[in-house]
Each structure stands twice: as C-alpha cells, then as structure tokens.
Copies of this chain bind each other. A is one copy, B any other.
Amino acid sequence: MRLMRNSTLRQLKVFEAVARHLNYTRAAEELYLTQPAISMQIKQVEENVGLPLFEHLGKRIHLTAAGRELLALCRDIFGKFAEFEMSVADMKGMKKGQLRLAVITTAEYFAPRLIGPFCQHYPGVDVSLQVINRESVLQRLADNLDDLYILGQPPENLEVHSQPFLENPLVVVAPRDHALAKKKCIALKRLAGEPFLMREPGSGTRMAAQRLFDEHGIKLNIRMELGSNEAIKQAIAGGLGVSVLSRHTLALEGERGPLTILDVQHFPIQRHWYLVYPAGKQLSVVARTFCDYLLAEGRRISRK
C-alpha cells in the first residue's frame, strides 16, 4: 500500500471524476483528456491501493468497496482543501486571523478596553491575550511566540521595534483618609517618612519611582513588597502604607472609593505604554491593523 507515497492529488481528482460518472470516457471529457490518460491514472491508483477500485461488468463499471472508501476519502480531502483555501482568502482580506498579544500585568487594567472594540470590529479575528510579568513577556518576545507585546518600558538587550502609544502616568496612591489626602503640592520629601508598598525589584513602576526619589536624595521606607498591583491596592486600603502606581490601576475606583491620589510634587511621573515587536519581524495584516488602531486610539485618549 503506497497510496500516500506514490499517488498525486491529480490522480485522486481523476479517480473522483471517474467514480462520479462511472464512465472513463465521460471523465476524460470533463477533464479535457483522452480516455487512455484516464485508464492509466486509474490503473496507477489501483496499483497503489492494492485492490481494484472499479468492477467491470460488460461495458458498465461499478465501484468496489475499496473504491467507495477511496471516493469518501477524496471528497473528504477535497473538502478540507476548500476550507483551507477559504481560510486563507479570509486572512488575506482581514476577515479572519489571529492576534496573539502578551502584555505586562499592569496593562490588564486598560488593555481589555482597547482590545474589545477591535474584536467587535473584526469578529473573525481570534485575539488571545497573555497577561504575565515583565520577565515572561521578555522571554516570549525573545522566542517570538506572539504577534505584539505591550510593556511599560522597551527592553534594552533585545533588538526590537517599540513605539509609545499611550500615556502611563504614575501617581502616589494613599487611603482616602490619609493625613495628606486633602493637601495640595505635597513636597516630595514628605513621603520619606511614609511606609511604602512596592512591587518586586525589576518592576518598571518601581524602577521609575526609585529613580525619582534617588534624584532628590530621598530614601524610601519600603515596608513591604507585593507581587501584584491589586495586592498593593488592597494593602493601601488596609492602611499598610502608600505606593506609586500607574493611574490605570485605579480606573475602576470611584470618586468615593477607599483610595485616593496624592498631589505630590513631580507627580504624576509621565511614562508611556509601549507597543513592541522583534526588529525585522514582518507583521501580519491583522497585527499591523491592530497597531494602527492602538496608535489612533492612544492619540484619541490623549486629546480628551
């Protein structure tokens, strides 16, 4: 049995035509071939299968059991090809595609609201969103596992294309009943005494805040390191201290929620969210469209 090894799709198509007409000559006409061409192809396929596919009785031919199975196989395969071709056609026209995003955890506070409208506009596009820590994002970036990445700061050791698309203001967050809550223009050094809650070292937010305080020669009193922004917010609400967070993490907090933003000098620290992908990577149509959309959306939000 060497069907797969030796046969060609063409032979299967010839077979299918013959099986449909149950007549070599008709099949030949349909395919613009001579009848002997058909005879030969069928003979080949039968040799490859190892069993007769047609039964010849007088001038009429009939499918054998093996022939019926092969016909089913052909129809099945041709169908799969047709499906595939449609998929590809859709991909070409952006009616269909995949968009694999990997974003740093803090982006979870705003990314879904940007992605949502995009998905609605292109319902054929499957978007997968990985929300992981910075280190994992960089690893996936290096392994080229996704189409696009969102980071709070572009990686330095990898060759990438990166583009800021949205402001990322870092603010000082405190409980609403904090002593400084109502003050205006709080001096930076007033924070020196406050117990600080921070993400782990390596966090972009932490590094940016650290740099600001270092520049002003202020030593922070770091009370606790916590593994997620949400944990920090809970801790602040619990009165364990204050922290520097992206304002996006407070998007869902109301005017009367348990947290508030302190009006500290030099804050908000203006950072940006970056759209990143490996240098030299040829983006898919979907990914390019998404980039354009994100940039436009970023500008729109800034103007407001």
Residues in A lying within 8 Å of B, measured CB to CB = 1, 3-4, 7-9, 49-52, 55, 57-58, 60, 62, 64-66, 68-70, 73, 76-78, 80-82, 84-85, 87-89, 91-92, 97-98, 144, 278, 280-282, 284, 286
User: Is A1 within 8 A of B66, CB to CB?
Assistant: no
User: Is A57 within 8 A of B278, CB to CB?
Assistant: yes
Q: Which residue of B lies closest to A159 (CB)?
A: B58
CB distance from A141 to the nearest CB of B (A): 11
**Top 10 closest pairs, chain A to chain B, by CB:** A4-B81, A73-B84, A65-B98, A1-B85, A62-B144, A69-B87, A57-B144, A77-B77, A8-B8, A76-B80
Q: List 9 A-B contacts (CB under 8 A).
A: A1-B85, A1-B89, A4-B9, A7-B9, A9-B9, A57-B278, A57-B280, A65-B97, A65-B284
User: Is B60 within 8 A of A84, CB to CB?
Assistant: no
User: Is A88 within 8 A of B60, CB to CB?
Assistant: no
User: Is B73 within 8 A of A91, CB to CB?
Assistant: no
CB distance from A228 to the nearest CB of B (A): 31
Kindly identify which residue among B8, B50, B91, B281 contacts A66, using a CB–CB cutoff of 8 Å.
Answer: B91
Kindly identify which residue among B62, B81, B280 contacts A3, using a CB–CB cutoff of 8 Å.
Answer: B81
Q: Which residue of B lies closest to A72 (CB)?
A: B84
**Cα–Cα, bound, A99→B89 (Å):** 43
Given A3-B81, A144-B60: A49 touches B9 (CB 8 Å cut-off): no
Q: Which residue of B lies closest to A62 (CB)?
A: B144
Q: Which residue of B lies closest to A65 (CB)?
A: B98
User: Is A66 within 8 A of B88, CB to CB?
Assistant: yes
Contacts of A80 in B (CB 8 A): 73, 76-77, 80
**Cα–Cα, bound, A8→B1 (Å):** 18
CB distance from A18 to the nearest CB of B (A): 16
Given A9-B7, A50-B92: A84 touches B69 (CB 8 Å cut-off): yes
**Cα–Cα, bound, A70→B88 (Å):** 9
CB distance from A61 to the nearest CB of B (A): 9
Q: Which residue of B lies closest to A145 (CB)?
A: B62
**Cα–Cα, bound, A51→B286 (Å):** 13
Contacts of A89 in B (CB 8 A): 1
User: Is A281 within 8 A of B144, CB to CB?
Assistant: no
Kindly identify which residue among B9, B49, B92, B281 contacts A8, using a CB–CB cutoff of 8 Å.
Answer: B9
Contacts of A286 in B (CB 8 A): 65
User: Is B282 within 8 A of A52, CB to CB?
Assistant: yes
**Cα–Cα, bound, A98→B88 (Å):** 39
Q: Which residue of B lies closest to A98 (CB)?
A: B65
CB distance from A173 to the nearest CB of B (A): 40
CB distance from A89 to the nearest CB of B (A): 6
**Cα–Cα, bound, A66→B86 (Å):** 11
Given A7-B9, A9-B9: A88 touches B284 (CB 8 Å cut-off): no
